Structure 1
């Protein structure tokens, strides 16, 4: 299974009452495929506010996304959590919904050791026929899935790649030693070009909600050998890459990108507590990124 090089970790649109807005979700999926040129979408990942979605909402999202995409792109279900048994059950439900793969975040808060994480991911992978992408994001989970453990997991047949957010040193170490078929994605938009230069495969992105078409052009320029154009496009994208997370101080994802989508005419609503809306000053900064 090739999920492509540009994947968006999709936000979950909410209505005024904080419930999933299905009409807005459909419009967003269409835009991410047709306008932003994504190869795959992650549904109910952490950018989709998975910690505040019920399992019933998640499975409804998986089913809806598969139907709406209609084969135009791959749908990857965010089924990972810090509860191995629950992750297995949700993975089975996602498989029944017809998704193309799953994304498993490292188990947050529990702080398992490397062997515990290995067994966690192995157990989930063995419960499904779907291809599995790992997701290592120490800044949010409080733990680091080491390069060595990632490489052990890469030996499992249906663990096909990773979304790596532990920094360039660890990403490069994984790329250098992983099987050729194992795809390494960055989860940090600002390192898209450097990840490709290291030999990584692509990006699982937040910024591609709003500048996906340009990011696709950047990736295609680099992979076709036009490094000068890729560098130019990277410089043009860079303020958005950084600004969506640092506007003008760190703002929890997906607060900024949801507001940025509204500036493009895609109303996806607010965020669920404990997240809160962007302040007036933060909104002004986000607007400045697109002027």
Structure 2
């Protein structure tokens, strides 16, 4: 299955999977499993794959491992879909270097998270993203707002000021607020493509102007999420709501504790040996794993 989007308002397709990073029994990156999983995700309907984001455990990967994951996945999907690299950092200099390396490695885009821990003011956020955009001018960027993880939030007004950077083309909205999409649309219009960063909010975000999703659940139900998007876009709203309701228990279970702990457990339950998360994250506890098993079994 191949996907090709010429519409500039949908720069990376509708369904992107924030892919886990598989580890082998020794705790090293399992490149063979990463390649197999990437191809599986494409077969299940993903238009794009994001490597080494939050779900990919970027905080515990070295830059060398992140580059390895990018090259592995890009080679595995052979240009069939867009491949984005997570290149964000709380250090502007490191984020610039990582983004330039992703550009050189042939990434189709970069996911750049707001700097975490040091809590820069809006002026600092603007300078940070502007510097990254200027350093890799030919690489399309997706800004990533996830304040629950980073401790700061990118203001829609700040994003508006960044719209003179031609390669800032999209935004992953993971604040948990549908209103964020409306505010971004108000300030930036169609120049900025907004993606839901929350599977459970995908349908309501589509209703207010989001173009798609960067999904975790698509590891397991990619074809159904794609069908929900297509149903909504074709005006079959009742069908879209039906998919939305059917999938809510899984969406909630995958975020019952810190991502990617549950999705790695779910993949294991469905036959994918992707290894445990790296410390300080731990495998899913037995009680939650049993509940997740029953939710997966009950999917229609």
TM over 0.5: yes
Q: 1:130, 1:31 → 2: CA distance?
A: 26
Distance 2:164 2:226 in 1: 30
1:199 deviation in Å?
1.1
- Is 2:79 the partner of 1:71? yes
**Counterpart pick for 1:218 among 221, 228, 242:** 228
SS of alignment partner, residue 266 of structure 1: coil
- In the TM superposition, what is the alpha-carbon distance from 1:267 to its structure 2 partner? 1.3
Contact 1:134/1:163 (8 A) holds in 2: yes
Mapping 1:99-248, distance limit 5 Å: 99-128=107-136, 129-166=138-175, 167-246=177-256
Q: 1: distance between equivalents of 2:201 and 2:69?
A: 29
Please give the alpha-carbon distance, in whole angstroms, between the structure 2 residues aligned to 1:141 and 1:285. Answer: 29
Structure 1 CA distance, aligned partners of 2:216 and 2:150? Answer: 18
- CA deviations over 1:106-132 (Å, ceiling 9, x no partner): 000011000000000010011111000
Q: What's the RMSD between the two structures over aligned residues?
A: 1.0
Kindly provide the CA deviation profile for residues 70-97 of structure 1, in whole angstroms up to 9, marking residues without a partner as x. 0111100000110110111111111111
Which residue pairs with 2:49 in the alignment? 41
Residues 172, 198 of structure 1: 8 Å contact kept:
yes
SS at 2:229 equivalent: helix
Is the 2:33–2:274 Cα contact (8 Å) retained in structure 1? yes
Moved >3 Å (runs of 4+): none
Match of 2:12 in 1: 3
1:21 aligns with 2:27: no
- Paired residue total: 286
Whether the aligned pair in 2 keeps the contact of 1:154 and 1:161 (CA below 8 Å) is no
CA distance in 2, matches of 1:25, 1:261: 13
The C-alpha deviation readout for 1:153-196, integer Å capped at 9, x for no partner, is 23321100100122122221112332313100110110000010
Q: Distance in 2 between matches of 1:87 and 1:285?
A: 38
User: Shift of the alpha carbon at 1:40?
Assistant: 0.4
1:209-260 Cα offsets, whole Å, 9 max, x none, are 11111000000000011111101111111111111112xxxx1110100111
Provide the C-alpha distance between the structure 1 equivalents of 2:294 and 2:164, rounded to a whole number of angstroms.
Answer: 45
Check if 1:83 corresponds to 2:91.
Answer: yes
Find the counterpart in structure 1 of residue 67 from structure 2. 59
- In the other structure, the counterpart of 1:263 is 269
2:120 and 2:191 mapped to 1: Cα distance? 28
Structure 1 unmatched ranges of 5 or more: none
What are the ranges of 5 or more consecutive residues in structure 2 without an aligned counterpart? Answer: 1-7
